[in-house]
Amino acid sequence: MSPKSKYFQDVEQYRKDMLINTELCGEPMHFNTTWGLFSPRAIDDGSKLMLEYIKVNESDNCLDLGCGYGPLGLTLAKLSPDGRTTLVDKDFVAVNFTEKNIKLNHLSNCETFLSNGFDQIGARKFNLIVSNIPAKVGNELLSLFLIDAWNHLEPGGRFYVVTITGIRKYIERSFKEVFGNYKKIKQGKTYTVAMTIKQ
């Protein structure tokens, strides 16, 4: 067997789905993932940090903005069985794997679809919006996220974000500008979880 042939055989394993079996917020969770999605081998530390500190009501209608393969949104769906959770992403592979993971976790109170930010959300309103915001999302898109989050939150609704700690001050200024309030939930060396309320 030539080295090239062995290389091709070795690489074929990367086409197979991976499976993460874990526990989030005390709930057993299962996720099919694949290369090309964010953090495919394990739940990322930012999402785990947010889930450790987030407060969810059983009847909350929730939105996971930029859901990836669904760790945040599907956990919210488990925690809010009397509400409905919407998971959106601009990546069709992410939405495809979220659909798989909805079935894998036997959830009937959630939906997922392609959306560039909020552009396909329609008239839906939420009690809770969460987002694991990428470090390089850019100020322009982040500004759109904040305005659209405000528009799609019910009065008293909460918007939680987890970001790299380096942009925490920008998030604080932006939350105060749009919502008039900001609360730092948890700051770690790498990630910061913050939230704001539509008053």
Q: What are the boundaries of each domain within the chain?
A: 44-197
Q: Closest Cα to residue 50, out of 160, 184, 197, 129?
A: 160
Mean pLDDT (the chain) is 94
Q: How confident is the model at residue 96 (pLDDT cuts 50, 70, 90)?
A: very high
Amino acid at 177: E
**13 pLDDT above the threshold of 90:** no
Q: How confident is the model at residue 5 (pLDDT cuts 50, 70, 90)?
A: confident
In total, the chain counts a number of residues equal to 199
Q: Closest Cα to residue 166, out of 122, 136, 196, 130?
A: 136
What separation in angstroms does the CA of 64 have from each of 9, 34, 113, 156?
Answer: 37, 20, 11, 18
Give the predicted TM-score (pTM) of the model.
Answer: 0.94
**CA 183/CA 192 separation, integer angstroms:** 11
* 147, 117 contact by CB (below 8 A): no
> In CATH, what is the architecture of 44-197?
3-Layer(aba) Sandwich (3.40)
Q: For residue 112, what are its two tokens?
A: 């997922």
**132 pLDDT above the threshold of 70:** yes
State mean pLDDT over 103-109.
98
pLDDT (0 to 100) of residue 4 = 67
Q: How confident is the model at residue 102 (pLDDT cuts 50, 70, 90)?
A: very high
State mean pLDDT over 106-135.
96
What separation in angstroms does the CA of 96 have from each of 37, 92, 146?
Answer: 11, 6, 26
**2 pLDDT above the threshold of 80:** no
State mean pLDDT over 20-31.
97
